[in-house]
Amino acid sequence: MNQDAERLMAFLSGRAVPVGGLDESGWDRIIELAKRHGIAQLLPACWKAQGTVPPPAASGRINSIHLACAAHNIRLFHQLEIIVRAFQAAGITVVPLKGAWLAESVYANIAQRTMADVDLWVQRDDLDAARRVMESLGYSSRSKADRPQELQDALTGETQLFKTDAPMVELHWNVFPGEWLRHTARIDEQAVWERTLVYKGDGVRQLSPEDAILHLCVHLAVNHQMSSIGLRTLLDLDRARQRWKIDWSMVAQRAREWRVSHATWLVLQMLAEGFGDPEGRLPLRDLSPSPLRRSILRRFISLRKMIEGIHISSGPKRFLFLLALVDRPAAAFHLVWRAFVPDRTWLTLRYGLKDAPDWRIGLQRLWHPVRMLVRRNV
């Protein structure tokens, strides 16, 4: 890592940082690096805890970022409260996920965690009722071109809802979404739901600590391919292990049972490298892949690459990384097969062919792999 990255990591992890020779441009580079990762709003608290006094210009700039984050999150939480109350009135139990939940349960200060949207998990049987509630609040759904809503409803489990001057809301019935997980993992989501804990009354619940750790790891490694939100997620994990009582042996056991042990190991290994594991609590040895697999994964990901802003969320490299991430070799072959020869449900819903004749579906099946090769994106 370069010196700016090393200083930023030292600030974030609470290590002593020599700043005597750091000029104003150096402070600006550190702030810009933190801002790029969506964690700049945390620096005032880090500096205060370490007794670091930045120059007035750097202090003023970072305080402005912190206050802007606070103002944004206050508006977001106000809207979230309206939604949660409407769900409770309709008898719908909801589990807040990711930023909106972590800001309160992990950081205990909503100004220290950036949030772009609101993620809410409901049971699939409640999905239609939850959508009606959101529509009554002025929200409307919008699907992406490559993710038609029918496909989302059948397989992915996500609905994006929009309202003017309000945060986007992602309504989930599947808390571990994605084709990689559908074809390679074995996650019992009903058991995850049954393990949720009371958060704000019986109508608003939260993931158990062990399931939350796995959710963060899988979301970063599988859904984001260690890109974009990497450093912020490592911070989430670091803060979570400081505040929660976590049974790490249970984390390892579930990761193996769910067939996401390699994904979990990779994220926790980055956590240990960036923020330490002085008491040896992280189950790195229990989850560690073979030396060959570790070597392959290291070719894609390192802490330095994450801080520099690695991006492997598209193109052939993304697919190769996801192949390297599977727990079982047979699952890699199955993933390749389904990438080029998708099952009928995915194929028809993805291309809007639900009621099409067999010959039309057959043509699309032939065109699908050609389309992927032309676009160089699997």
Q: What is the pLDDT of residues 149-203, one digit of tens each?
A: 888 888 878 889 999 989 899 999 999 988 999 999 999 999 999 999 999 887 9
Tell me if 140 sits within 8 A of 162, measured CB to CB. yes
Residue 137 has pLDDT above 70, yes or no: yes
pLDDT score of 208: 97
- Summarised one tens digit per residue, pLDDT across range 32-51 is 999 999 999 999 999 888 88
Q: pLDDT digit string (tens) for 216-233?
A: 999 999 999 998 889 999
Q: What confidence score (pLDDT) does residue 145 get? A: 64
347 contacts 361 by C-beta, under 8 angstroms: yes
Tell me the C-alpha distance between 264 and 267, whole Å. 5
Mean pLDDT of all residues in 128-147: 87
Give the dihedral sign, CA 18/23/29/31.
positive
The per-residue pLDDT for 309 is 84
Q: Which residues contact 18 (CB under 8 A, 6 or more apart)?
A: none
Cα separation, 235 vs 13, whole angstroms:
9
Q: Count CB-CB contacts under 10 A for residue 228.
A: 18
pLDDT in tens, 283-318: 999 999 999 999 999 999 999 999 988 888 778 889
3-state secondary structure of 204: strand
On whether the CB atoms of residues 338 and 183 are closer than 8 A, the answer is yes
The three-class DSSP label of residue 19 is: coil
Kindly state the percentage of the chain with pLDDT values over 90. Answer: 71
Q: What is the mean pLDDT of residues 348-367?
A: 92
What token pair was written down for 344? 């009928």
Quick: pLDDT tens for 112-131.
998 888 999 999 999 999 99
Helix segments in the chain, DSSP class H: 3-13, 24-36, 43-50, 56-89, 98-105, 127-136, 149-151, 179-184, 189-194, 209-218, 230-243, 248-258, 261-275, 284-287, 291-300, 303-308, 315-325, 329-340, 344-350, 358-375
HSE-CB at 33 with a 13 A cutoff on CA atoms is 23
Indicate the pLDDT class of residue 147, thresholds 50, 70 and 90.
confident
Pairing status of strand 117-121 against strand 168-172? parallel
Predicted pLDDT of residue 1: 72
| Band of residue 378 on the pLDDT scale cut at 50, 70, 90 | low
Contacts of 304 (CB under 8 A, 6+ apart): 1, 5
How far is the C-alpha of 180 from the C-alpha of 336, rounded, in Å?
Answer: 10
Q: What is the pLDDT of residue 146?
A: 67
Per-residue model confidence (pLDDT) at position 74:
92
Nearest to 148 by CA among 14, 378, 347, 294: 347
For the stretch 256-292, pLDDT in tens is 999 999 999 999 999 999 999 988 999 999 999 999 9
Tell me what pLDDT residue 216 has: 97
From 113, 311, 99, select the one nearest 226 (Cα to Cα): 311
* pLDDT reported for residue 191: 97
pLDDT of residue 2: 86
Q: Comparing 164 with 378, which gets the higher pLDDT?
A: 164
User: What integer pLDDT is reported at residue 301 of this predicted model?
Assistant: 93
Which of these ranges, 1-10, 17-26, 182-191, 289-298, has the smallest mean pLDDT? 17-26
Given this model, what pLDDT does residue 343 score? 92
DSSP 248-299: HHHHHHHHHHHT-HHHHHHHHHHHHHHH--TT--S-HHHH---HHHHHHHHH
Amino acid type, 17:
V
